[in-house]
Amino acid sequence: MPRLARLDIAGLLQHVIVRGIERCDIFVDDIDRQNFVDRVTTLLPETGVHCYAWAILSNHFHMLLMPTATSLASFMRRLLTGYAVSFNRRHKRCGHLFQNRYKSIVCEEEPYLLELIRYIHLNPLRAGMVASLDELDHYRWSGHAVLMGNRSISGQETNSVLGRFGNTLDIAQQNYRQFVADGIKKGRRDDLVGGGLRRSQSERKDNEPESFDERILGGGDFVDELKRHVELQTKMQGVVTLPRLLEVVSGMWGLDPEVVRRPSKTRAPAAARGIICHLAIFELGYRGNEVGRFLHLGSSGVSLSAKRGEKILRVETAMLRQLMAEIEK
């Protein structure tokens, strides 16, 4: 049976699991681990991807990510390709380092965000890489130590996580640590990593089973909403051309389309380019390099513009609805 396409949608949590090919070690020592962390901390702010949790083991790693301005596929491609090249060079090996496809599961934020953070951060303890929660508090290769204030990692979301546990840092960290401690006795949580386990197959009020999808961790309503979004994206992809998108966005801003396509820092054209980048990549499914060629932007320029457009549309929700209505005409 062919594998289903990944769901790569902006603003949604993604639990990412990457394993070494044939279960080989992808982290031999702390030099490898630091190399990986350095690459992550460089890419997170550059791409606008949010990281809520992460843990490095020997032959695999977990990350809980939310792409915003850059697609998850683009982020992972840059991370894995760069790390594999440097790993192979350092250890004098050749060939693939990772399994052909990383696993990514789209996750409903409530109630799964905190459960996944706890699950991911307990991985080193479950794997025997640390002997106790006290050791995990200082374990360098997990986001848990960052939340406990014992390590600093650029790009990891700390305030938004700890803010769910208390109004002051000390109280939040204490409550968070107790939450993690309570999870130790839960053991393995296959329900959090197996998208096809039908873990949420409760019955609706009409006695029909809830929808499910092996790529999604969430309730039936969440699954249905995502499927509708993907169907709309698929329907519009290839039908709505980049020139058409440029025409609609430029018209709403009262701009000459060719002015929008010319790189400049003038506010209105820059905002229009940002909206085009965001809609093209995250609503219409275009690749970043396609959008970059059309707008005469490099990869970093597309990422920054998409981030700007996402911020504008997050505030101007009426504008987004109007744009989509105009595009579909």
State the total domains in the chain.
Answer: 2
Spatial contact of 116 and 123, defined as CB atoms under 8 Å apart? no
Could you tell me if residue 85 is inside a domain?
Answer: yes
Residues 112 and 183 in one domain: yes
For the chain, the helix, strand and coil percentages under 3-state DSSP, each to the nearest 5: 55, 10, 35
Could you tell me if residue 109 is inside a domain?
Answer: yes
Could you tell me if residue 79 is inside a domain?
Answer: yes
pLDDT band at 30 (very low <50, low <70, confident <90, very high): very high
**How many CB atoms neighbour CB 194 within 10 A?**
13
Could you tell me if residue 146 is inside a domain?
Answer: yes
Could you tell me if residue 231 is inside a domain?
Answer: no
List Cβ neighbours of 94 (8 Å cut-off, separation of 6 or more): 88
d(CA 320, CA 305): 16
- Beta-strand ranges (E) seen in the chain are 13-19, 50-56, 60-66, 103-107, 216-217
d(CA 284, CA 274): 14
Per DSSP, helices labelled H in 185-241 are 220-236
**Among the listed ranges 35-49, 127-141, 169-183, 203-217, which one has the minimum average pLDDT value?**
203-217
Spatial contact of 67 and 10, defined as CB atoms under 8 Å apart? yes
Domain closes at, from 192, 223, 255: 192
CATH of residue 287's domain is 1.10.1750.10
Spatial contact of 157 and 113, defined as CB atoms under 8 Å apart? no
Domain closes at, from 158, 177, 192: 192
Could you tell me if residue 248 is inside a domain?
Answer: yes
The model's pTM = 0.71
**pLDDT of 138 above 60:** yes
Q: What is the DSSP letter of 58?
A: S
Give how far the C-alpha of residue 33 lies from the chain's centroid of Cα atoms, to the nearest Å.
21
* SS3 (DSSP) at 93: coil
Write phi, then psi, for 65 (nearest 5 degrees). Answer: -125, 155
d(CA 70, CA 48): 6
Residues 188 and 250 in one domain: no
Residues 85 and 183 in one domain: yes
Q: What is the pLDDT of residues 304-313, one digit of tens each?
A: 888 888 888 8
**Left if phi > 0, otherwise alpha if psi is -120 to 50, otherwise beta: which for 149?**
left
Could you tell me if residue 22 is inside a domain?
Answer: yes
pLDDT band at 35 (very low <50, low <70, confident <90, very high): very high
Counting residues of the chain whose pLDDT is more than 90, the rounded percentage is 47
> What value does the mean pLDDT take over residues 141-153?
95
Nearest to 280 by CA among 295, 258, 300: 295
Name the more confident of 254 and 263.
254
Per-residue model confidence (pLDDT) at position 238: 57
Residues 31 and 176 in one domain: yes
Residues 270 and 324 in one domain: yes
Domain closes at, from 159, 176, 192: 192
d(CA 295, CA 81): 26
Per-residue model confidence (pLDDT) at position 23: 87
Per-residue model confidence (pLDDT) at position 219: 62
Looking only at Cα atoms, what is the longest distance across the chain? 63
d(CA 247, CA 258): 10
Range of the domain at 58: 13-192
Q: What is the pLDDT of residues 84-104, one digit of tens each?
A: 999 999 999 988 999 877 888
Tally DSSP H helices, then E strands, for the chain. 15, 5
Type of residue at 172: A
Q: What is the DSSP letter of 192?
A: G
**Among the listed ranges 91-95, 225-229, 246-250, which one has the minimum average pLDDT value?**
225-229
Could you tell me if residue 218 is inside a domain?
Answer: no
